[in-house]
Amino acid sequence: MNLGTMKRMLGFNTTTVSASKGDIWLLGARYRVAQEEYDEDPLDPMHSEGFAAFVEDFSSRILFTYRKGFAPIGCTKYNSDVHWGCMLRSSQMLVAQAFLVHKLGRSWRKSPEKPLDKSYKEILSLFGDAGDSPCSIHNLLQAGNAHGLAPGSWVGPYAMCRTWENLVRNKRMEINSKIFPPMMSVYVVSGDEDGERGGAPILCIEDIFRHFSELSGGQFDWVPTVLLVPLVLGLEKVNTRYLPLLSATFKFPQSLGILGGKPGASTYIVGIQDEKAFYLDPHEVQQVVHIESESLNVDTSSYHCNIVRHIAVDSIDPSLAIGFYCRDKSDFDDFCLRTSDLVDQSNGAPLFTITASRSSPKPGNSVAEAGEFDPVSELYTDESENSAQEDGWQLL
């Protein structure tokens, strides 16, 4: 499908995208836009098959924006999140992407010519703007109360990550229902003393497996997991040493993108091309929509974006959070190997590191030496027979 066909089908607007010839990486998927032959203009990569495929992928990601007209939040009079809910909406997009990957696969695309998948509608219903939708803004605010979340107030990436960890833990029985049985664990990667000492966050393998065991009552030693890594990579701007590392995370097959943007204006960053970061913008105000999974005729157009927007990578706010989704042990294995390679490329300043246990050697700034850790040989000495499978996993 070329770009002309895509524009006719989706009404796509690409006026904000420059004609760069660099490869595009979108949440682990690679799109080559520089080719020898083009359908229309040989000088314009935007007319390539690769760019058309990127457009289709980008427009299939779920968009959550400001909404108005929903039931008041708690005991307040807030029936809209306009001007203050952008971080909550950005985080909803990231978690919804994990649901899409688990239920429908990374290759899923929303087709304007086919009926909507039931699982897709179930995912949207989880994020409805009402108290009975488990992942609603109402429930996020309640779960994040201990981290300073309140209607009308802006929140940072770290508090948002901890809020999702609390929400999934507290709502596991409610979400793990007939409406949407498969759910995931959310695990926040932080540094020593929860990051109070600074330095790169450390993913301790011993801790994460203990986490699974405790939450499942020893029933499972692995469940599909969203890893959230909150970071502060500078003062007013991201330190330039981190920019190549941030870009590289979009090449991970497990990539869920980045919660970030400009100061006070959170977005969901989903892709990279050269010095540009592509993002979904939650700052459009839309009327509330009620999605039921059993509805046959439902308009979901407000949950997708037909405009490609980008910002310069070096303009991203240094306070951000990176997300990854690991479906199973082999996926996590691959993630560990890629992370170790990324640490090796960091010249002593990694985004985050991996260690087998808290007793592993930590030279320098309380950072684990990734080269001393082989996730394949050390983590999985045998294959457990009681691992959670796709259709049998529980919310932890």
Residue among 158, 123, 154 at smallest CA distance from 141: 154
Please write down the HEC assignment for all residues of 56-84: HHHHHCCCCCEEECCCCCCCCCCCECCCC
Tokens (6 digits) for 39: 């359908």
One-letter amino acid at 223 equals: V
Q: Which of 57, 86, 138, 336 is catalytic?
A: 86
For 342, the 3-state DSSP assignment is helix
Q: With the C-alpha atoms ordered 230, 234, 235, 236, is the resulting torsion angle positive or negative?
A: negative
Location of structure tokens 């913008």: 281
Active-site choice (283, 304, 328, 333): 283
Angle at 34 between CA 29 and CA 37, to 5 degrees: 120
CA distances from 32 to 53, 278, 366 (A): 9, 16, 39
User: E strands along the chain, which residues?
Assistant: 24-26, 29-31, 66-68, 185-188, 202-204, 225-232, 255-262, 265-273, 276-280, 285-287, 309-312, 319-326, 353-355
Beta strands in 36-156 (DSSP E): 66-68
Q: Are 177 and 193 in contact (CB under 8 A)?
A: no
- The token pair at 271 is 């892709």
Q: What token pair was written down for 385?
A: 């027979």
* CA–CA gap between residue 262 and residue 247 (Å, rounded): 17
Residue (of 244, 291, 253, 299) closest to 272 by Cα position:
244
At 396, the amino acid letter reads: L
d(CA 109, CA 111): 6
Backbone angles phi, psi at 134, to 5 degrees: -55, -35
Known catalytic residue: 204? no
283 in catalytic set: yes
Residue numbers annotated as active site: 86, 281, 283
